[in-house]
Structures are given as C-alpha cells and as structure tokens.
Amino acid sequence: MRRLGAAVGLMVASSMLALPGSAGAAESSIDRAGLTVDEIAAQLRHDPVLVQTVMGGGDTQGAHERLTELASELDYPVYVVIGLQPAGSPRNRPGEDLAARLHQRLGEGLYVIHLADDIGEVATWLDRYDQFEMSAADYAASKRFYTRRPEDNKSIEPTLEAELTLRVAAAKGLKPSDAVLDDIAETASAHDAQLDPEVVSEGWDSETALGKRRVVTVATGLFVLLSGLVVAIWLLRRRPSERRPDGRPSRTDAIEKTRAGAQQLADQLERALDTTTSRLDDPLVESALLARDQIRRLLGSDDIADVAGVQVLAQTGLRNLARVADRRLRPYRACFANPLHGEAQTTSPLANSTLEVPLCADCARSEHPDVLTVRGLFRTHPYYDRDDVWARTGFGSLVDDLPHQVDAGAAR
C-alpha cells in the first residue's frame, strides 16, 4: 500500500513536469534533469537531505527543513533523496539501484529514496536494524497511517512519505505513536488545502499550485467522460447476468471467494517474510519480497485474473522461501489452464492443442478443461486471449521469474 501510494503520488508529480508553466522560472537548471549518481553523492556529503524542487510538492524549503531536523535526531547516518531519476537508471526499481550505488560511495546508513515515476525505497545498511526490519516497520506505520486517515485515502507527497519513514526510524521499537501519525496527517491536510483553487500564494509556489490545478481540471474532465462510458457499458452488459436462471453464484461472488483465498496466502507470505532468517540479498528471498510488493498492489483489483495472480504470486513467494533451505524443491508452477486449480502435476497438451503446458491432473485428462475466463468488453473468454502478464506467462507456469515479470509489467 505504501509503495502504491508513493507511486500514485509520483505519477501526479511527474505528470506536472509535462505541463508548460508548472515549472517556475526560479527553478534552477539542475532541477530540470536528473543528476548523476556521483553528483547526488557529492551533494549528500555536504547535506544528507536532497529534495529537488520538482518533487518538493510546492514546499521544497519546508520539507528540507523538516527532514533535516528529523535526520539529525538519529544517531546513525541518514540520507534522503527526493528527485528525478539519475541518468542511466535501470527501468526496474531505479530507487533500489540508486540506494545501492549511494551505499557504495557513502557507506552505512538509512537511505530513503523517492524518485519520479518510481515507488519509494527504504534501504538500510546498519548494524542495528536489518533491511527487512526497517522496511517492515515502515510499511506497518504506513498502513496504520492510511487507516487512520480514511476520509480521503489519498496518497501523500513523497516528502511526507519520507518524513513518515524518519519518524518510524526515530520511534521506540520502530513504532511511532498515533499522535505522530496524526501530526503527519495534519501536515498533509494543510498541504491539500494549499492546493485549493482559492489559495494562491506568491512566487514559485503559486505556479506549482496552478500547475496542479490544471492537472486536476484536466484529469477530472477525463475522469467524468471515461466513467460515463464505463457506466454505460456496465449497464449494457449487466442486464443479462442479473437474470441468471441457473442460480449459480454470480461473478462477483466468485471474485470475492478468490480474493479471500488470495488474502490467506498473502498473509502466510507476509508472516514467512517477517520471520525469515535467510539473507535478504538471496535471489530467492528477493523474488519473494518482490512477490509481496506486487501482491499488495493487486489484492484489491476487480479483475479475476489479478486476484488469481495474487494467489500464484503468494505460492511462488512461499515456495521460493522454502527453496532457500532446500534447493532441490522445484519452483512453483500453477496449472496453466486455471491457476486456481493449484500446482501443476504434469506437462501435457491442453485439450486438442499441440501446446504442451504444465497442467493439473484433471486438466491433463479433460477434453474440456475448466479454463479460467475473464471478461472482455462484450463476452468472457480464456484469460490467455488477452495481452497481459498473466497471459504471456501462463500465470508464471511458462516462466521462472513471475514476480519479476509482474513487477516489470507494472512499471511499463
């Protein structure tokens, strides 16, 4: 949720960049392009908090001051980078990549990185806390924060996300009090109020506010247009299914049942990751962590394929954690025809096709296997007719690295 929230916030921030007038005249040229990793490291040596104006949410100076004060309260090195992606960043997880490169140059510490068009990254190289401890605590606090702030459930600025992380780091047992969370919520609300059309301050900030207003106006118009279309299509398609004569459970029931199963598996994976004693840089553990991130993103989806995909991601993550201890275990492969059937038992042609795929025992025998169907615009069809990551990978049954593929698909 945290990562998703950050990603949404960043999308808004980065879409501002495309709008003429959203970047103020006072903005330095260095802010228009990503710095190189060496330049970032050099700046951090002088000042461990780097907030580029384009990502400052209209209050770069204030954010810088608050973050600097919070960082100074910790008795280990803290580095904060909130800005554009450095030139030459990898497409996949640029924040994680930057954290590792900065660690090579600056050494141990807590690295809090929020880059445009990327999810937030909290990386730890410290004796006191391991990487997972800190990011798990950060996630838990973020979850509490968003639960306590249900009135709008909006993602907060990357600068406030970073503030939350530093408050977590400073808290006893890495558990900030409710008062601390409310304090951040208050800052967020004050910031939202600043974006109110009536409130236009002077200078660069006002230009930012105007830029955001323009984004909001355009986005609202598009949203109204698209939601009208979606509602119309939904109404057109809804009528026949409401008269189900056979009394079979509706599609909504099916997706909720699938989600309940997915949630259980997801919880199992979270617990397993919470208690793992394996090295976090083991590729199998990394893959399980990636699966967890993608599960958090997809669990609330209304697409049956996404929710089924969560089940497979969780099984894949759990198996990969088990494989750390026992390398002879095979990677998890779901039944290609329908991942909800569980693990594939054999490889065999699907129905009358010549395509040999991993299948469960029932599907291997059947001439009419129970293939997972998804809704198209006007009808349901086999999931593999679509062009998404589930179709391309057969829910991971045709590839070795489903979590990476899903992650890469999300970044596209």
Q: Give me the residue label for tokens 């301050």.
A: 201
By CB under 5 A, residue 335 contacts Zn ion: yes
Count residues binding Zn ion (CB under 5 A). 6
User: What is the per-residue burial (b if ≥16 Cβ within 10 Å, else e) of 258-288?
Assistant: bbeebbebbeebbebbeebeeeeeeebbbbb
Residue 173 identity (one-letter amino acid): G
Convert residues 345-374 into a mask of x (bound to Zn ion by CB under 5 A) and - (unbound): ---------------x--x-----------
Give helix then strand counts, H and E, for the chain.
14, 8
Stretch that binds Zn ion, among 184-192, 302-310, 329-337, 348-356 (CB under 5 A): 329-337
Stretch that binds Zn ion, among 156-164, 246-254, 317-325, 338-346 (CB under 5 A): 338-346
Nearer to Zn ion, 362 or 401 (CB): 362
Rounded least distance, CB 362 to Zn ion, Å: 5
Rounded least distance, CB 393 to Zn ion, Å: 16
CA separation, residue 202 to residues 58, 64, 362 (Å): 11, 19, 69
Rounded least distance, CB 39 to Zn ion, Å: 54
Rounded least distance, CB 2 to Zn ion, Å: 35
Name which position in 337, 350, 402, 406 contacts Zn ion (CB under 5 A): 337
Nearer to Zn ion, 211 or 339 (CB): 339
Nearer to Zn ion, 311 or 338 (CB): 338
Q: What angle do CA 109, 37, 21 make, to 5 degrees?
A: 110
Name which position in 341, 374, 404, 407 contacts Zn ion (CB under 5 A): 341
Q: What angle do CA 138, 142, 143 make, to 5 degrees?
A: 120
Taking residue 189's Cβ as centre, other Cβ atoms within 10 Å add up to 15
Rounded least distance, CB 13 to Zn ion, Å: 44
Convert residues 113-142 into a mask of x (bound to Zn ion by CB under 5 A) and - (unbound): ------------------------------
Q: Quick one: tokens of 347?
A: 């490889």
By CB under 5 A, residue 50 contacts Zn ion: no
By CB under 5 A, residue 308 contacts Zn ion: no
- Taking the C-alpha atoms of residue 239 and residue 353, their distance in angstroms, rounded to an integer, is 35
Q: Quick one: tokens of 323?
A: 């494989």
CB 383 within 8 A of CB 373: yes
CA separation, residue 89 to residues 37, 103, 115, 409 (Å): 9, 16, 10, 17
Nearer to Zn ion, 44 or 337 (CB): 337
Stretch that binds Zn ion, among 55-63, 98-106, 332-340, 390-398 (CB under 5 A): 332-340
Using CB under 5 A as the criterion, which residues of the chain lie in contact with Zn ion when the complex forms? 335, 337-338, 341, 360, 363
